[in-house]
Amino acid sequence: MLRPKDPPVSYNFMVALAPSTTPSSMLGAVALASLVFDAAFTQISGLGVQLNYTPVRSGGYNNEVYHLPGGVNRGALTLKRGLASFASPLMQWCLGTASGSNFIEPKTIVVMLQDKNPNYPPVMTWMLYNAIPVKWEIDELDAKKSDIVIESIEIVFSNMDVVGTS
């Protein structure tokens, strides 16, 4: 009899940037291993998708409603971490895009949820395509507090693939 696995933990994840020209078929295990991951994030939110629909009442039947599918909405991915070094590739990409001095270069963002045991493969991987940073900000600076400075990066994307292990 197989023992059921524990549910995955949400604290063990990694984030990497890949060029937007990298097709999903090329982002196999070997290619993922060669990416530079930034594991310094404390929080990630916005991984999800929502299907729009239009409710339509059936002609003459007031108790029947059909739901016609529409387009798909993807929210923005929000990454939070302690203020990173200026040498961080993610920070360079965000600030270069926001300053207008660089050509806006979409990237593929790879988010991997790791197993508790580091020897096991990732529990799930999200690949967010044509990602563009749209917001970068730091928390309030306050001389009365001794908190860590947190930066938030908001990224929009056009499509998402989800890869899980069995």
- Per-residue pLDDT tens for 127-137? 999 999 988 88
DSSP string, 17-66: EEETT--GGG-SHHHHHHS-EE--EEEEE----EEEEEEEE-TT-TT-EE
Average pLDDT, the chain: 80
Q: What is the DSSP letter of 115?
A: -
Question: Phi and psi dihedrals of 95, rounded to 5?
Answer: -70, -35
Correct CATH for 13-164 of 1.10.540, 3.30.70, 2.30.110, 2.40.50 = 2.30.110
CA atoms within 13 A on the CB side of 69: 5
pLDDT value, residue 30: 47
Task: Give the model confidence (pLDDT) of 73-114 as tens digits.
Answer: 888 999 998 887 777 888 888 888 777 766 788 888 888 888
